[in-house]
Amino acid sequence: MRPIMRYLWLKICLLVAFSVPVGLAAETVDSTLTVSLLTCSPGEQSYELYGHTALRVRSLQQRLDTVYNYGAFDFTAPHFLWRFVLGECDYMLAGESMELFLMQYRYRGSSVTEQVLNLTPVEAYLLAKALKNESHPDSCVYRYNIFRNNCTTKARDAIEAAVLGEVRYPVHGRRNTFRTILHEFTAGHPWAREGNDLLLGAEVDTLITERDEMFAPLYMMDYAAGAMIVGYRSNYRPLVRETHVLLSENPERQRAMREKLPSFPLSPRALGWSLFVAGLLLAAWEWRRRRVFWPVDAVLLTLQGLAGALLTFMALFSLHPGVASNWQVIVLNPLPLFFVYSVVRADILRKPFVYHTIAAVILVFFIVLTFLIPQDFCRLILPLALLLLSRAAVHLIIYKKLV
Read out DSSP for 104-141?
Answer: HHHHHT--EEEEEE---HHHHHHHHHHHHHHTSTTT-E
Distances (CA, A) of 19 to 130, 138, 216, 291, 361: 9, 20, 31, 80, 66
Cα gap 245→115, rounded to integer Å: 9
pLDDT of residue 19: 44
The Cα–Cα gap between 117 and 99 comes to 20
The pLDDT-based confidence of 316 (bands split at 50, 70, 90) is very high
pLDDT above 90 for 78: no
> What are the extents of the domains in the chain?
3-174+210-258, 268-402
pLDDT at residue number 80: 65
Report the alpha-carbon angle 40-198-263, nearest 5: 60
Of 31-40, 122-131, 314-323, the range with the lowest mean pLDDT is 314-323
Q: What is residue 249's three-state secondary structure?
A: coil
Kindly report which listed range (14-18, 268-272, 377-381) carries the lowest average pLDDT score.
14-18
Residue 361 main-chain phi, psi, to 5 deg: -65, -45
Q: 129 CB contacts (<8 Å, ≥6 apart)?
A: 19
pLDDT (mean) for 310-328:
92
pLDDT at position 107 is 94
Predicted pLDDT at 3: 47
For a pLDDT cut of 90, what percent of the chain falls above it? 75
Span 278-303, pLDDT tens digits: 999 999 999 999 899 999 999 999 99
Q: What percent of the chain has pLDDT over 70?
A: 91
Check pLDDT > 60 for residue 403: no
As a whole number of angstroms, the distance between CA 205 and CA 176 comes to: 9
pLDDT of residue 21: 42
Which range is least confidently modeled, 1-10, 258-267, 288-297, 331-340? Answer: 1-10
Cα–Cα dist 13/316, whole Å: 45
Q: How many angstroms separate the CA atoms of 170 and 61, rounded?
A: 34
Nearest one of 292, 290, 300 to 363, comparing CA atoms: 300
Per-residue confidence at 181, pLDDT binned at 50, 70, 90? very high
3-state secondary structure of 168: strand
CA dist 393 and 397 (Å) reads 6
CA atoms within 13 A on the CB side of 308: 18
**In this predicted model, what pLDDT tens digit does every residue of 356-376 receive, in sequence order?**
999 999 999 999 988 888 999
- Considering only the C-alpha atoms of the chain, give the largest distance between any 2 of them, rounded to a whole number of Å: 96
pTM: 0.88
Query: Mean pLDDT highest for which of 22-31, 87-96, 368-377, 379-388?
Result: 379-388
pLDDT mean across residues, the chain: 89
The rounded distance, in Å, linking the Cα atoms of 225 and 169 is: 9
Q: What is the rounded average pLDDT of the residues 256-279?
A: 91
Lowest mean pLDDT among 74-88, 257-271, 272-286, 374-388: 74-88
Which pLDDT score, from 0 to 100, does residue 11 have? 53
Give the bridge partners for 67, in sequence order: 56, 96
Please state which of the ranges 115-119, 182-186, 263-267, 306-310 shows the lowest mean pLDDT. 263-267
Q: Are 35 and 115 in contact (CB under 8 A)?
A: no
- Give the per-residue pLDDT at 262: 83
pLDDT at 43: 92
